Structure 1
Amino acid sequence: MVLTASQELAEVTTNPPEGIHVSLVDESNGGKFKLLLVLPTDYPFKPPKISFKTRIWHPNVTFDEHGSMCIGILKSEAWKPSSKILSVLAATQQLLVEPVPDDAVEASAAEKFKNDRPAFNKEAREYTKKYAK
């Protein structure tokens, strides 16, 4: 059985993955990284798009206004209509916890992550203070 987008939103809002808070956009909520999840009109047959609206220093997320990232589950050849928003959020969380510097979109972040982890962590903290207010 395939759930509608509103059914899935209700499911992930009431039962999100541990460590993730799911809600509709609330512009007054600061201090956290915001992501934008866009469901295409032909969802679930096409994968959603997810991007960071808060800048983040991470090897697998572009450090620009687009906040683009590449997650395997969202690649068109890997996406299945039975996949769920919950799986997308869990994959995003996993990527944040375990960056893949060999598949980076931000080469300088990946280089520091691989070769100077303390410097990478320091820079990530500084950018978090600056952007994730």
Structure 2
Amino acid sequence: MANIAAQRIKREFKEVIKSEEVAKCAIKVELVNDSFTELKGEIAGPPDTPYEGGNFVLEIKVPETYPFNPPKVRFITKIWHPNISSVTGAICLDILKDQWAAAMTLRTVLLSLQALLSAAEPDDPQDAVVAKQYKEQPEMFRQTAKHWTSVYAGGPAKMSDLDDKIRRLTDMGIEEHNARVALSSYNWDLERATEQLFMTVMAKN
């Protein structure tokens, strides 16, 4: 790794570890394989959002051209959010693309992602299905995001009616995550989700 990038990351790593947000358990960063090119970040779901109580793990890859180019970041923890792909964890956030500035740091990135969980940008989505639900059925979006936080990020909420619908699909032999994705995408309409899942199965056969 280029020397300037390595030195900078080492300094920023210490900055995050000493930050008040770490003391409050809001953000965290650690090395993967003792390498400063690959880090694991964690952010806590912000209060008063469907992500509250969840803990979201991030993959952070630092290029040799850092800090002149942004780190590549994606969510490893599955999440239901308009600006984050529910499939790949890819993130749509301007500072990770064309609005990056060399003065920004790992701490800035983690706090910006946490802010994104509080204030989604549905008009510039990474996941069109989630963005549509966010805009057209806000309460359904909140329930779905809470459910995903509970299942994938250790969040507190348990919603039995949603779990019942998933169970009905898994009883038909559908894999649990696929059942959850189909139901989430069709606003928990069991009939439409079932139809979609079986059409997919038929197409594969």
The TM-score normalised by the length of structure 1 is: 0.84
The answer to whether the 8 A contact 2:122-2:135 is kept is yes
* TM-superposition CA deviations, 1:87-114 (whole Å, max 9, x none): 2122111111000000111112111111
* TM-superposition CA deviations, 1:67-124 (whole Å, max 9, x none): 000211121x322222211221221111110000001111121111111111001111
Query: Is the counterpart of residue 119 in structure 1 residue 119 in structure 2?
Result: no
* TM-superposition CA deviations, 1:29-56 (whole Å, max 9, x none): xx62111121111211111111100000
Alignment of 1:4-83 (within 5 A): 4-15=8-19, 17=21, 20-24=26-30, 25=40, 32-64=55-87, 66-75=88-97, 77-83=98-104
* TM-superposition CA deviations, 1:2-60 (whole Å, max 9, x none): 9610110110121054662213149xxxx621111211112111111111000000000
Structure 2 stretches lacking a partner, 5+ long:
31-39, 42-53, 155-205
The answer to whether the 8 A contact 1:16-1:22 is kept is no
The number of aligned residues is 126
Secondary structure, aligned partner of 1:101 = coil
Over 6 Å off, 4+ runs: none
The answer to whether the 8 A contact 1:59-1:109 is kept is yes
Higher helix share: 2
The answer to whether the 8 A contact 1:16-1:86 is kept is no
1:67/1:117 CA distance change after superposition, 3 Å: same
Secondary structure, aligned partner of 2:28 = coil
State the AA in 2 paired with 1:9. F
The TM-score normalised by the length of structure 2 is: 0.56
**Which of structures 1 and 2 has the bigger CA Rg?**
2
The answer to whether the 8 A contact 2:27-2:110 is kept is no
CA-atom RMSD, angstroms? 2.1
The answer to whether the 8 A contact 2:82-2:120 is kept is yes
Question: Percent of counterpart pairs with the same letter?
Answer: 33
